């Protein structure tokens, strides 16, 4: 039976709750039976036994509450439920330098899908999917929280909705449930409605836990404006999150024109494609 950490803790809490109720009821029965005992000494000893059993049930109730509240975060501290990076298709970046007899440095992006009202995976990215297993349509993701750093449990350190340049590495963290190992998972990063980065991989992070998507370009790629991250399982949109970048980066963006050309090459790295 494939039992994840969350399900295991839930099952343990239910069993402890049932045991607590059973012990409490047993103590009440002992106290009620005292009325039928004629001898004072035996009645006093039986009463003490009944209250002792009820006291044990309260201790077990306290232990059950502690297991429910603290056990799962402690377990994730030692066994972080991160998504395993598996062999994925690499996107070949073919830079072509444009010689423009003008002074202004204007970065251009060819074949760049824009954000639509209904989020979707661009066809050029979907064509590179490697998973042969359909994703679970009931999979869910929590709201995405953004931060400059995360801890060992994939929790954001000082999450924000607004970041001021200079910026280098940003994380989008989330919790997930009902995911299916072997299915395709994709995260798209947009800046001012233009796709600037994506990662796509075969999911092997388990059915439930905490995960993240991250982008670590050079500082001059963080342009001011509204940024959005979209998460998909297969080609099904699951969750979007937004944050704002204020201020201009210290250095200008490069003038190379980047063309994304997917090639069916299996490697042991995650698709992390940076689009200036």
**If phi over 0 gives left and psi between -120 and 50 gives alpha, with beta otherwise, what is residue 250?**
alpha
Q: What is the CA radius of gyration of the chain?
A: 28
Q: How far apart are CA 193 and CA 87, in angstroms?
A: 29
Torsion of CA 121, 123, 125, 127, to 10 degrees: 130
Grade residue 227 by pLDDT with cuts at 50, 70 and 90. very high
Query: In this structure, are residues 202 and 134 in contact, taking their beta carbons and an 8 Å threshold?
Result: no
Higher pLDDT, 205 or 79: 205
Query: In this structure, are residues 65 and 194 in contact, taking their beta carbons and an 8 Å threshold?
Result: no
The partner residues of 14 in beta bridges, in order of sequence, read none
Most confident range (mean pLDDT) of 39-43, 176-180, 247-251 is 176-180
Query: If you average pLDDT over every residue of the chain, what do you get?
Result: 81
Q: CATH classification of 88-274 is 2.60.40.2550, yes or no?
A: yes
Name the pTM for this structure. 0.51
Percentage of the chain lying above the pLDDT 90 cut:
50
Tokens representing residue 227 in the block:
């940024």
Domain boundaries, the chain: 5-78, 88-274
Phi, psi of 217 (to 5 degrees): -85, -175
Q: Tell me: the pLDDT tens digits for 72-127?
A: 788 877 776 655 554 555 555 555 555 555 555 555 555 554 445 789 999 999 99
Q: Give the 3-state secondary structure of residue 232.
A: strand
pLDDT at 107: 53
Tokens representing residue 72 in the block:
């799962």
Among candidate residues 222, 240, 72, 219, the one with its CA nearest the CA of residue 142: 240
Which residues are CB-contacts of 125 (< 8 A; sequence separation ≥ 6)?
186, 188, 198, 200, 262
- Provide the 10 A C-beta neighbour count for residue 180: 19
Tokens representing residue 41 in the block:
């000494």
Angle 189-194-199 from CA coordinates, rounded to 5°: 30
Distances (CA, A) of 151 to 6, 55, 76, 173, 215: 20, 40, 11, 11, 16
Phi, psi of 121 (to 5 degrees): -80, 125
pLDDT at 18: 94
Phi, psi of 37 (to 5 degrees): -90, 130
Query: In this structure, are residues 134 and 183 in contact, taking their beta carbons and an 8 Å threshold?
Result: yes
pLDDT at 115: 47
Q: Tell me: the pLDDT tens digits for 123-180?
A: 999 999 998 899 999 999 999 999 999 999 999 999 999 999 999 999 999 999 999 9
pLDDT at 250 over 90: no
Q: Give the 3-state secondary structure of residue 65.
A: helix
Query: In this structure, are residues 124 and 260 in contact, taking their beta carbons and an 8 Å threshold?
Result: yes
């Amino acid at each position: 039976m494939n039992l994840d950490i969350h399900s295991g803790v839930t099952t343990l809490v239910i069993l402890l709750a049932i045991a607590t109720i059973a012990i409490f009821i047993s103590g009440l029965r002992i106290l009620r039976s005292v009325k039928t005992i004629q001898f004072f000494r035996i009645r006093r000893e039986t009463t003490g036994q009944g209250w002792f059993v009820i006291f044990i049930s309260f201790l077990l109730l306290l232990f059950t509450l502690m297991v429910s509240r603290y056990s799962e975060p402690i377990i994730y501290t030692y066994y972080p439920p991160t998504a395993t990076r598996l062999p994925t298709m690499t996107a070949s970046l073919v830079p072509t330098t444009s010689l423009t007899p003008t002074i202004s440095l204007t970065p251009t992006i060819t074949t760049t899908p824009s954000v639509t009202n209904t989020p979707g995976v661009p066809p050029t990215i979907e064509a590179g999917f490697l998973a042969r297993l359909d994703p679970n349509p009931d999979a869910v993701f929590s709201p995405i929280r953004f931060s400059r750093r995360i801890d060992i449990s994939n929790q954001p350190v000082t999450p924000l909705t607004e970041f001021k340049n200079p910026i280098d590495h940003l994380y989008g963290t989330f919790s997930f449930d009902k995911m299916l190992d072997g299915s395709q998972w994709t995260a798209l990063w947009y800046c001012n409605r233009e796709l600037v980065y994506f990662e796509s991989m075969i999911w092997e992070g388990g059915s439930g836990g905490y995960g993240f998507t991250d982008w670590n370009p050079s500082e001059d790629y963080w342009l001011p404006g509204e940024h959005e991250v979209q998460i998909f399982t297969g080609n099904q949109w699951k969750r979007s999150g937004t944050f704002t970048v204020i201020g201009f980066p210290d250095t200008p963006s490069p003038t190379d024109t980047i063309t994304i050309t997917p090639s069916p090459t299996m490697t042991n790295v995650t698709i992390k494609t940076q689009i200036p």
